[in-house]
């Protein structure tokens, strides 16, 4: 994701029957930044963690739903792991690079000119 420009990090967690839907929704809503259009994201890094009850199908669905929200992404890297402390829950982290923001502007050398919080953590309960 070198020279990816401005990035945003979203983290979401969900439990219950629709835990994937909740976790994806929370992870992809980044309200701390004024992101004009995430569909033009350059790169995407996805990390999915869940308890031993998490299935490969859930992992695949989570990845597909996130990628569907950023259809023009040039590069996607993703992975998943089992975390026994997350039994019954799924946690998703998405790092979006090359986003466009009306609040932040990248300089010609790719370094952001302003410093604003870019981490959003949403834990659905």
Bridge partners of 93, per DSSP, are 11, 47
The Cα–Cα gap between 125 and 111 comes to 36
C-beta separation of 66 from 20 below 8 A? no
| pLDDT tens readout for residues 76-109 | 999 999 999 999 999 999 998 888 766 666 555 5
Q: What is the mean pLDDT of residues 62-75?
A: 90
- Supply the pLDDT for residue 33: 52
Q: Quick check: is 119 in a domain?
A: yes
Number of domains in the chain: 1
pLDDT at 117 over 80: no
| pLDDT tens readout for residues 31-44 | 555 566 777 788 99
C-beta separation of 63 from 95 below 8 A? no
- Supply the pLDDT for residue 31: 59
Q: Quick check: is 1 in a domain?
A: no
| Domain containing residue 29 | 7-123
- Supply the pLDDT for residue 49: 98
Q: Quick check: is 80 in a domain?
A: yes
pLDDT at 114 over 70: no
Q: Quick check: is 29 in a domain?
A: yes
Q: What is the CATH number of the domain that holds 97?
A: 3.30.1330.20
What count of Cα atoms within 13 Å lies in the side-chain half-sphere of residue 102?
A: 5
């Amino acid at each position: 994701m070198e020279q990816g420009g401005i990035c945003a990090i979203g983290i979401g967690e969900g439990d219950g029957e629709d835990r994937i839907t909740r976790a994806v929704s929370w992870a992809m809503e980044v309200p701390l930044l004024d992101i004009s259009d995430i569909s033009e994201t350059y790169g995407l890094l996805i990390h999915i963690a869940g308890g031993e009850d998490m299935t490969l199908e859930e992992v695949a669905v989570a990845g597909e739903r996130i990628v569907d929200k950023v259809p023009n992404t040039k590069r996607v890297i993703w992975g998943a792991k089992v975390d026994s402390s997350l039994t019954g829950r799924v946690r998703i982290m998405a790092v979006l690079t090359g986003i466009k923001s009306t609040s932040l502007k990248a300089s010609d050398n790719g370094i952001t000119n302003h410093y604003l919080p870019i981490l959003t953590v949403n834990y659905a309960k």
